[in-house]
Structure 1
Amino acid sequence: MSTEPPVRGQPRSDAGSLPEAPSGPVLVIPSLHPGEDFPEIVRRTRDLGLREVVVIDDGSGAAYAHIFAAIGAIDGCTVLTHSVNRGKGAALKTALRYCLSRPEVTGIVTADSDGQHLPQDIRRVAAELAEAERAELRAAVLGIRDFTLPDLPLRSRLGNKATTAVITALFGRVVRDTQTGLRAFSRGLFEELLALDGERFDYEMNVLIYLLQQRLPFRGVVISTVYHDRGNTVSHFRPVRDSMIVYRGIVVQAVRFALSSFTAAVVDLVTFTAVIDYAFGGTSALRGVAVATLTARLVSGLVNYEVNRHIVFASDHPRGISMLRYLLLALGIVAASAVGTSVLGTLLAGHVVWAKVIVDSALFVASYLVQKRWVFAPGRAGPKSLPRLRDHTPNS
């Protein structure tokens, strides 16, 4: 069990300090090895009117202690300290636990420590959260950067485009900035966010996926796109290693789906063999083959359904509805395979086997997406929903 990190710089209310609202959102800034200008960045954000600024020193070490001490001395700022580096996700969870223990905190706004998030954008995201909370207790807001600008670092542009394509394919919703660090969440989501897996950069992706899986219609606010240089060298994100961490959950689910399909194929073959051998004496007569085939498909289909429902997609969707949808999908795939193989086989000058391989490979991917987005899709988590995602043009 993890212990609560030390707290430095508890907010004070002595004469001369900034006025503090009785309740409201808190700005959360995880930090690792910040620059010397970090206290000034925090000081500027303290003027935004938020209840408090919570900075997490994620194991930066003694060399950076003076920076966090300067932040702790700012009125209305709190510093939470990890003795060792535990990752951005762990830092965000530490802040969530701290805020959850404070009943006056109505929500959090998260920002990065490198100055890429401008004070006016933080203010606007916080204002959007306050408006969203009037319609929904479980509200979320994302700051959306403009990735069409010509001077963006190449790794940021390509990384976001790739992840956007994957998210769109898997969940059927376009999220134009999947890796934004400027986000806001209402108090109603704190416990759910704390329960999610991930300790490093994967945590933020897990949060986004959770919002999509639960069909929580989060809002978007277009923000300024700021990088210190074309290589974005200030960032601690390691493109190869951290991208693997970010995509780990998606890849694991896809691998489980493939293994589930392989298991179902083995069950199908074993069942067919057993029925044709023991019930029909190994005959190749149409009646025996038909009965064996139908029995094998029924058994393997039930196995595949249960494995996908409980292990692959961990769905809580009502069994009756998901089973009916699964059956409709299975029938549709059989029909599409037959028609597609026939048509493509004709186009390939009679190479029916190759046509079947191509068609069934495409249907395998389609089956995964349909099962994820329809058959085993979770029901809407909350009793009400937020308005559609809205954009605001950044102030110039």
Structure 2
Amino acid sequence: MTSISIIIPAKNEAASLVSLLPALKLHAGFAEVIIVDDGSSDNTVQICKEHGVRAISHPYSKGNGAAIKTGARAATGDVLVFMDADGQHKPEDIPRLLAKLAEGFDMVVGARTRKSQAGVHRAAANGFYNRLASWMVDQKVSDLTSGFRAVKAVKFKQFLYLLPNGFSYPTTITMSFFRAGYGVTYIEIEAPKRIGKSHISPMKDGFRFLLIIFKIGTLYSPLKLFLPISLSFFMTGVGYYLYTFLSFHRFTNMSALMFLSAIFVFLIGLVSEQITALNYKDSND
């Protein structure tokens, strides 16, 4: 029989855990539940004790991704279910994730509907990430950043070393599974409004999300990102050369710079492609 471990990172989420933990017992009482307390200053650990749930505490806040890794290392289940502690993920959806996983997939992700997104700006950003990821993997990615997912433990743990300590772990693990050729699918979920205050800063995390875009490309298929950039430099160089040749009958330093930039960017992409292949060599065996 397949064993299940539910891993929930929590930082000052005692208010939502009061209602979440009883709901987990009701809808997923068969599973091992691990709360990873990421340096909380409230009574998160006490709430866990009152409900007989295992809590692992970080001595200070290390980040959402770090809490995920701590929970994954401690879990004993054959299948890992990850969800947020803020009330946005419904315990009653866990059996749906597991049922889909049993169909033969390696990871099933709960994809939030448009009305479940926290604000228009967040929905627009997530839509952009989804389209970018879909282009990179040539598969439809319904929700790249969702933290609600069920995954086979042995395959998830292959990529622990790649996961960042911050909030972008869902992006990294999703792209890693696609890159390794594992089966990934999505089911639609309704995400209620979170309980308490969000830990995401629009200014700070907005810049971090821009970095995620480049990370997606370099993590999955670097040449698919670098080749268009290289071609843009090359075509700009050709265009400028034609202009200067027809106007002044000479080859300028700017044209040379564009051509050299095109070559360097292409070579960087080529080397990155080889490094990426080495990162995934164990998962492809």
TM-score (norm: length of structure 1)? 0.55
Matched, 1:97 2:73: yes
Match of 1:59 in 2: 39
Match of 2:47 in 1: 70
Runs of 4+ deviating beyond 3 Å? 149-152, 168-174, 243-254, 312-315, 349-353, 366-383
**AA in 2 matched with 1:109:** V
Q: Deviations over 1:129-177 (max 9, x none)?
A: 23336xxxxx111111112x39851232122023224323444444221
CA contact (8 A) 2:220 2:276 kept: no
CA contact (8 A) 2:86 2:196 kept: no
**Cα shift at 1:115:** 0.8
**Cα shift at 1:89:** 0.8
Query: 1:132/1:248 Cα in 2 relative to 1: closer, same or farther (>3 Å)?
Result: same
Q: How does 1:170-249 map to 2 (within 5 A)?
A: 170-228=136-194, 234-248=197-211
Q: What CA distance in whole angstroms lies between the structure 2 residues aligned with 1:158 and 1:233?
A: 23
Q: What CA distance in whole angstroms lies between the structure 2 residues aligned with 1:181 and 1:368?
A: 35
What percentage of residue pairs aligned between the two structures are identical? 20
Aligned length: 270
1:153 paired residue among 99, 103, 119: 119
Query: 1:154/1:369 Cα in 2 relative to 1: closer, same or farther (>3 Å)?
Result: farther
Q: What CA distance in whole angstroms lies between the structure 2 residues aligned with 1:372 and 1:218?
A: 28
**AA in 2 matched with 1:97:** R
Q: What CA distance in whole angstroms lies between the structure 2 residues aligned with 1:238 and 1:367?
A: 35
SS at match of 1:178: coil
Per residue, is there more helix in 1 or in 2?
A: 2
Matched, 1:88 2:64: yes
CA contact (8 A) 1:142 1:219 kept: yes
**Cα shift at 1:70:** 2.8
**Cα shift at 1:195:** 1.8
Q: What CA distance in whole angstroms lies between the structure 1 residues aligned with 2:119 and 2:167?
A: 19
Q: What CA distance in whole angstroms lies between the structure 1 residues aligned with 2:113 and 2:242?
A: 45
Q: Deviations over 1:185-231 (max 9, x none)?
A: 11222431322241111333222232233232311111113224xxx
CA contact (8 A) 2:7 2:82 kept: yes
Query: 1:375/1:30 Cα in 2 relative to 1: closer, same or farther (>3 Å)?
Result: closer
CA contact (8 A) 2:9 2:36 kept: yes
Higher Cα radius of gyration: 1
Q: What CA distance in whole angstroms lies between the structure 1 residues aligned with 2:64 and 2:161?
A: 15
Q: How does 1:246-325 map to 2 (within 5 A)?
A: 246-248=209-211, 251=214
Q: What CA distance in whole angstroms lies between the structure 1 residues aligned with 2:145 and 2:212?
A: 15
Query: 1:73/1:56 Cα in 2 relative to 1: closer, same or farther (>3 Å)?
Result: same
Q: Which runs of no fewer than 5 residues in structure 2 stay unpaired?
A: none
Match of 1:116 in 2: 88
Q: How does 1:120-159 map to 2 (within 5 A)?
A: 120-132=92-104, 139-147=106-114, 149=115, 152-159=118-125
Of structures 1 and 2, the one with the larger relative CO (CA 8 A, separation 6+) is: 2
SS at match of 1:92: helix
Matched, 1:43 2:10: no
TM-score (norm: length of structure 2)? 0.74
**AA in 1 matched with 2:166:** R
Q: What CA distance in whole angstroms lies between the structure 2 residues aligned with 1:34 and 1:193?
A: 27
RMSD between superposed Cα atoms in Å: 4.4
**Cα shift at 1:68:** 2.8
SS at match of 1:188: helix
